[in-house]
Amino acid sequence: MDPVIETRNLTKTYQVGDVAVHALRGVNLTVKKGEFLAIMGASGSGKSTLMNLIGCLDLPSSGDYFLDGRHVNSMNKNEYADIRNQKIGFVFQVFNLLPRTNALENVELPLLYDRNGRIKDPLKAAMDALKRVGLADRMDHEPSQLSGGQQQRVAIARALVNSPSIILADEPTGNLDTRTSIDIMALFQELNKQGITVVLVTHEHDIARYANRFVEMRDGLILRDVILKNRRNAAKDLVEFKREDIA
């Protein structure tokens, strides 16, 4: 399989006053198409920093980053914006939805900036995406009128709407309860089954078990990179949960 994401010696150094914070110290990571990767690691180990670089939300201090074989570092800002728009769906821990804006309009947002016109009917695409995350009946709701889990689903629908080839999720279940977390994971597993590459940061081993590959970071470096054997199925776990509820 072709690598979708390939980083070579990626570093990121933040200058805080006189102190240089080395958030990444040379990360080499290759993700193949269709993989479901879970990244874990202690707080401050550089997970978010790496995700932001992969998601083209930030620029590395040094090193190379190839996305679908293209050298991203040598692109200009506009090409960068277009990659975010066309190739990547990013899901944040804090949702990052537009306030006072209903779910449908939030999901439509990326299509507003779609200059290739890949999606012919933005409204329908947004409605479909909301249906896929099970929020067909919440389209008119503003973020303040939705639960945390529902807000995260809206954010996932927004990440999906442009049919990206990669979904990046930085602690998407960090603010959610176990049941809702499994719900969200079921969604990611289904998307992954449809061929979308998923990279996910989490603090919970239980959540990481839904991935098929596991990467552990420490101090800005990759410490461990293993293929997961006993991958869990979120949809099944959910059925289990429901049975317990009834009992």
Size of the site for ligand ATP (CB under 6 A): 12
Q: For another protein, which is the closer residue by CB, 92 or 214?
A: 92
- Cα–Cα dist 138/160, whole Å: 17
Site string (28-67) toward Mg ion, x via CB under 5 A:
--------------------x-------------------
CA–CA dist 10, 30 (Å, integer): 12
- Whether the CB-CB separation of 37 and 200 falls below 8 Å is answered with yes
- What is the helix (H) or strand (E) element at residue 202, kind and residue range? none
Query: 147 phi and psi, to 5 degrees?
Result: -75, 170
Whole-number Cα distances in Å, 95 to 150, 159, 176, 185, 212: 10, 11, 11, 16, 25
- State which residue, 32 or 84, has the beta carbon closest to another protein: 84
Q: How far is the CB of 44 from Mg ion (least distance, A)?
A: 8
21 binds, among another protein, Mg ion, ligand ATP, none (CB under 5 to 8 A by kind): ligand ATP
Per-residue contact string for residues 2-41; x = within reach of ligand ATP by CB under 6 A? ------------x-x----x-x-----------------x
Instruction: Report the interface residues with Mg ion, using CB under 5 A.
Output: 48
